[in-house]
Structure 1
Amino acid sequence: MTDASDIPVRVRPEVAALPPYKQGRQAGPDAFKLSSNENPFDPLPGVLERVRDAAAFNRYPDASAARLRARLAERFGVTDDGVHVGAGSVSILAQLIQATAGPGDEVVYAWRSFEAYPWLAVVAGATAVQVPLAPGARHDLDAMAGAITERTRAIIVCTPNNPTGPIVTQAEFDAFVSRVPADVLVILDEAYSEFVTDPDAVNGLREPGGHPRPNVVVLRTFSKAFGLAGLRVGYAIGHPRVLDAARSTAIPLSVTAQAEVAALASLDAEPELLERVRVIAQRRDALVAALRDEGWDVPEAQGNFVWLPAGAETLDIAERFVEAGLVVRPFAGDGIRISVGEHESVDKVLRIAASVVKTLPEGHQGRAASVEK
């Protein structure tokens, strides 16, 4: 973090004060990288072959990713204009915020949630309105609805919530949307939707034609479940005119031909890829159960990661994991997010987690009451 006084050109003070996005720490050759919620499985050979065949680097890609849009439109029962493809769902999120919010406006979201949300609001010139999570590290949708003012232009709901893990239920979301003014954008960020096993979870695309409320845009991505994080491709389903506004703020040609081809190939291979997702979800559930048995008060986990509410001890505990060859994602003062990685990493995670939970002070937020010192 800095200020504008040490920058040689005129920069908006609020931007100068923003810390740059901090990617999950990279792992050495002998460590497990559990810091970025990546899919631990290698890409399918068929997907790799399709990408190699598309490698005409001297040509620009199709700016609209028309083939992928058509495929997704057919899948979700919308028109092609009801689909927007971007370089990861976060890029579309940025476009939507830029399109709807500016100086004097407000963007409402839960906190802690995805770390990009605050700076996306600030970069747009808007005011970020953070609503604390409810007990269990869940969205407090009643409080979020209560935070809406005449200046609110966009609301972000992240489910499963990154980095804490719980979902918003369908009933909760429907009740919440009914309280949001019709001209306020609701962004339902479902980047981890494929990993969800809770039958009560919201599904923004459960009905053909997308969400019935035209002020709701649903975000999905190929980065997580489909294992295309390195190619950056995500999509939005929503009202065509709302998506037109996002398209107007987009950087042209940002979705590469290789990303589009890989996404199409992944949809062709979806049954095999979703079997991998099932394995990850089972591994996640087993990890959560084992962490709780060791004495951690772990919230519900419905993404491809688990959350250790380590509080003030976060950075010290994260370093213990790193020393053991496990690169995790600490959020200073709050907790540690651990991606569900390779099968071989699970026992190491549990061993370190068990060794540190008993060092937490009595009454610590991450320590279950039954843990003995």
Structure 2
Amino acid sequence: MTRLTRPDLDALPNYVPGRNIADLVRELGLDEAIKLASNEVPYGPLPGVVEAVTEAVTTVHRYPDMGVVRLREVIGERFGVSPDRVVTGCGSVALAEILAKTTCLPGDEIIYSWRSFEAYPIIAAGGGATSIRVPNTAGHGHDLTAMAAAITDRTRMIFVCNPNNPTGTSLRKAEIDRFLDAVPSDVLVVLDEAYREFVTDPDVPDALRTYGDRPNVVVLRTMSKAWGLAGLRMGYLVAQPEVAATIRKVVTPFSTSTVAQAAALAALDQEEEMRRRCSLVIAERTRLTEALRKLSVDVPDSQANFVWLPLGERTAEFSAACESRGVIVRGFHPEGVRVTVGTPEENDRFLAAAEAAL
């Protein structure tokens, strides 16, 4: 039979989303279940978003504003950058794919830490690039010294996930400074800050404010997490104008929908409420971390809206035990389990399941 797809993609893992609640309830005969697997914020849409979406739906027979002019203006005003440096897309992961498409030809290299965001190897392979995985440190974070040492003349792009998904660990300014100074000027560094709004450590820099002026740095953000728009797929990046202009050439036309644009504008008007909700998540993050450490789990400090349980070979057993009690967590075999911070009630239920499992 004639092959119609690339054979190198056979070995590529599928992106694994958090398990569906309805499937688990049906499979195990449970009355209910909760999902702490996808890093969603549990408090519903921000005020005004539903109304903005409802109004926008009445115009979905028309194409959206392809230039995303108003939203780019608002994002630019928020961060003190020119709108021509802002590119929006269907979530930050779609923009990461576009960055690979923009920078790499087949055989070029993309460096990232591992374990980090599970989409990175998929993004690299999808664009025909070679993945260069640099193992995490013993503390479950990026080894920036080793990542710098891995750069070759084929390196085109480096992903730095800060805070890191799925471990929640973060990089501080001094180590990022050293790393960026060591990266050649023709290598694009993507500072992926999907969880920036949950950072409380003052030594973890805001990449837009600290590194936004560097020609070879792109800062990647999402509105799926803290801003509560996971179901609408809304992300953005900030780059130098010439880089942003090239990226816009290969972005799928009209990929930032009318509804997503309207929702994002409404959400951005609610920063105070967003911060309040993040503070609730942060408080619960601390409580979860302390409780799990009392169960003898070596949970690293998290700066995201999830915690990491480095359970190693116990990962599958722990995940299954939680599911049997109606709590869906996210196992990364064979390293560990990521648990999203939920409401206090959801977190109590997880802790009860974790105690029983451990």
Q: Secondary structure at the match of 1:206?
A: helix
Say whether residues 1:33 and 2:39 are aligned partners: no
Distance 1:64 1:36 in 2: 30
The aligned amino acid for 2:37 is: S
Distance 1:119 1:129 in 2: 12
Instruction: Tell me the equivalent position of 1:319.
Output: 320
Calculate the TM-score normalised by the size of structure 1.
0.91
Instruction: Tell me the equivalent position of 1:179.
Output: 182
Instruction: Tell me the equivalent position of 1:291.
Output: 292
Q: Secondary structure at the match of 2:207?
A: coil
Map residues 105-116 of structure 1 onto 2, 5 A cutoff: 105-116=108-119
**What's the offset of the Cα at 1:67?**
0.7
Distance 1:249 1:171 in 2: 34
**What's the offset of the Cα at 1:45?**
4.0
Deviations 1:190-246 (A, max 9, x none): 000000111111211125xx6121100001111000000000001001111112222
The aligned amino acid for 1:33 is: K
Instruction: Tell me the equivalent position of 2:75.
Output: 72
**What's the offset of the Cα at 1:282?**
0.8
Distance 1:237 1:336 in 2: 31
Aligned-pair identity in percent equals: 49
The answer (yes or no) to whether the contact 1:137–1:299 under 8 Å persists in 2 is: yes
Distance 1:301 1:325 in 2: 24
Deviations 1:143-198 (A, max 9, x none): 00000011100000001100001111111111100000011000000000000111
Say whether residues 1:189 and 2:183 are aligned partners: no
Say whether residues 1:100 and 2:94 are aligned partners: no
**What's the offset of the Cα at 1:273?**
1.5
Say whether residues 1:228 and 2:229 are aligned partners: yes
Say whether residues 1:123 and 2:126 are aligned partners: yes
Of 2, 12, 25, the match for 2:6: 12
Distance 1:211 1:57 in 2: 35
Instruction: Tell me the equivalent position of 2:88.
Output: 85
Distance 2:79 2:202 in 1: 20
Instruction: Tell me the equivalent position of 1:213.
Output: 214
Q: Structure 1 stretches of 5 or more lacking a match?
A: 358-373
Say whether residues 1:337 and 2:338 are aligned partners: yes
Map residues 216-295 of structure 1 onto 2, 5 A cutoff: 216-295=217-296
Instruction: Tell me the equivalent position of 2:147.
Output: 144
The aligned amino acid for 1:200 is: D
The aligned amino acid for 2:164 is: N
The aligned amino acid for 1:112 is: R
**What's the offset of the Cα at 1:348?**
1.8
Q: Secondary structure at the match of 2:81?
A: coil
The answer (yes or no) to whether the contact 1:61–1:256 under 8 Å persists in 2 is: yes
Alignment length (residue pairs):
349
The answer (yes or no) to whether the contact 2:142–2:171 under 8 Å persists in 1 is: yes
Q: Structure 2 stretches of 5 or more lacking a match?
A: 26-31
